[in-house]
Amino acid sequence: MAVETRHPARQAPRSAWTRLAAGFGLTALAILLAAAPWPFALAALAPPAVAHAVVFDWSLRRPDALPAPLAFIIGLLLDVLSGSVFGLGAVTCLAAHGSAAAQRRFLSPRGIGHAWIGLALTAVAIAGIGWTIASAYSVLLQPVGPSLAQAALTVALYPPLAILLQTARLACGLTLRKA
Amino acid sequence: MAREPGLIPIDELVDASRPIKALLRRFAYLLLIGAAVALILIGKIETVLIERVRSHFSDGVAPILEVLSEPIRLARAGAEHIADLADLIEENERLSQENARLLQWRVFAKKLEADNQALKELLRFDPGPAARFISARAIADVGGAFARSVLINVGAGKGVGAGLPVMTGDGLVGRVIQVGERSARVLLLTDIKARTPVIVGDPPIRAILAGDNGDNPKLKFIDGEGALEPGALIVTSGHGGVFPPGLPIGVVAGDVAGETWAQTFVDWRNLNYLRVVDFGDQPDPAALAPPPPPPPQPNTESRANGG
């Protein structure tokens, strides 16, 4: 009788709670780390940029670990932390999640390069949504520069964040290694 | 098996909930976006409630943010230390020259201090209570594209109150807008909502310093016709009672595209240690100014006499 041996990574699927804890916990940790006072020019834009990139990646690769309601809560975390328009982060995080979900069938089997292009389009759309809501909320045309800079930072941060998240998913047993 | 009257089997209940679940899943995004829009509206109406939620949350995450920001502070201090070591000789030379210059200024300052004291005695000037300083550390830089604020690691427990000015050794940073027990939020001068009455240069010209979420705020509503001299000092005017007068902010950078820009003394990329300053109750300079002369009345008496 042949003995079935399991690859260490090919373990039984993690429980739903473990997956959700990993998805939410890693995203929240990434946002809190980004909120630290980094000595860089665009440091103030880092928390939303990181949130959008990480939510996009989870929604693309493991939507079961970060479903839309958790993306909404992540957005609220961003709102409470930022002191900006309350609810805006929830809208933009849902937009990132929804955009990845809409592109999932095309982007999911492909590599990080394709995902990067998908994220770039999403980041520009989010900048437009955010700018429109913030301008309407304050009844004042907001400067476009910071929104575009935030989109550019989201695009720039995505590749290292995607690699880190993939490594974390492997470590948590949420992704199967290629045989 | 006969079903008991009034009881629905669990299988039927599960089956009945399936379409609802499918419907919720299908419209999850719409429902959540609706909830987010509702929160935006609530945030617009119930600002006090939202601020309370924010300050409680900030208090909760302040210890985590403090721990997470510590390695960055250490790395920054280490990098500064290495940079200092690299140009130690040049720095020493510069400091020796500066010390010689400051010793000359010291004599002059002593004389001015004596003059100032004598004049205060002459005017029976009441300097008011001495300023109280509360040291703080920036633990999060969290503005985003539409706000500029930092969280600091002291709150009401250490005597921080809403509206107090926050400074670095270089100049004014902003003011406290939200206070928790262990943390507070500081609205920076560069925030798009920040409007600071200032005095520019000598002779003093009144203006409003307006943030635009960039690093350099603009000068608006400039009193008088002439353009402001680049390099002219900008200090708070104290009008409106938001800030006490005389707090240094920066200098006039120049005119670009019809706007006058300011260069702040504070380096926004290196907000680390801050001081919350309690100056006590400061009188509004507008209230101290003499009332404007009454408008000239037509001299009816002389007309009556003369006519």
How far is residue B147's CA from residue B233's CA, in Å, rounded to a whole number? 26
B140 and B41 within one domain = no
Amino acid at B163: G
Is there a domain that residue B110 lies in?
Answer: no
Q: Residue B24's domain spans which residues?
A: 10-45
- Within 8 A of A43 by CB-CB distance, chain B residues are 141, 269
- Within 8 A of B50 by CB-CB distance, chain A residues are 86
* H helices, E strands: number in chain A: 6, 0
Residue (of B186, B180, B131) closest to B156 by Cα position: B180
Residue B4 has pLDDT above 70, yes or no: no
Q: Is A85 on the interface with B (CB under 8 A)?
A: yes
How far is residue B127's CA from residue B160's CA, in Å, rounded to a whole number? 22
Residue (of B75, B82, B253, B275) closest to B172 by Cα position: B275
Q: How far is A33 from chain B (nearest CA, A)?
A: 6
Is there a domain that residue B177 lies in?
Answer: yes
pLDDT digits (tens, 9 = 90+) for B179-222: 999 999 999 999 998 999 999 988 889 999 999 888 889 999 98
Q: How far is B87 from chain A (nearest CA, A)?
A: 21
Is there a domain that residue B302 lies in?
Answer: no
CB contact under 8 A, B145 and A41: no
Is there a domain that residue B220 lies in?
Answer: yes
Is there a domain that residue B301 lies in?
Answer: no
Per-residue pLDDT tens listing for chain A (179 residues): 444 444 444 444 568 888 888 899 999 999 999 998 888 888 889 999 999 999 999 999 999 899 999 999 999 999 988 888 999 999 999 999 999 999 988 888 888 889 999 999 999 999 999 999 999 998 888 999 999 999 999 999 999 999 999 999 888 777 755 44
pLDDT digits (tens, 9 = 90+) for B46-65: 888 888 888 999 899 889 98
Cα nearest neighbour of B60 on chain A? A81
In this predicted structure, what is the pLDDT of residue B14? 60
Q: Is A155 on the interface with B (CB under 8 A)?
A: no
DSSP letter, residue B212: -
ipTM rounded to 2 decimals: 0.83
Residue B54: which of A33, A40, A80 has the nearest Cβ? A80
B268 and B155 within one domain = yes
Residue (of B245, B276, B277) closest to B150 by Cα position: B276
What average pLDDT does this structure show over B239-248?
Answer: 88
Polymer length in residues for chain B: 307
Please give the structure tokens belonging to residue B286. Answer: 């507008």
Is there a domain that residue B273 lies in?
Answer: yes
Backbone angles phi, psi at B143, to 5 degrees: -70, -50
In this predicted structure, what is the pLDDT of residue B305? 43
B141 and B34 within one domain = no
Is there a domain that residue B80 lies in?
Answer: no
Distances (CA, A) of B92 to B76, B78, B79: 22, 20, 19
In this prediction the pTM is: 0.78
Q: How many domains does chain B have?
A: 2
Is there a domain that residue B151 lies in?
Answer: yes
Q: Is A81 on the interface with B (CB under 8 A)?
A: yes
Residue B93 has pLDDT above 50, yes or no: yes
B276 and B146 within one domain = yes
Residue B290 has pLDDT above 80, yes or no: no
B275 and B175 within one domain = yes
Q: What percent of chain B has pLDDT over 70?
A: 84
pLDDT digits (tens, 9 = 90+) for B128-167: 667 889 999 999 887 788 889 999 999 999 999 999 999 9
CB contact under 8 A, A36 and B140: yes
B252 and B146 within one domain = yes
Write the CATH number for B241.
2.40.10.340
CA-based end-to-end distance of chain A: 23
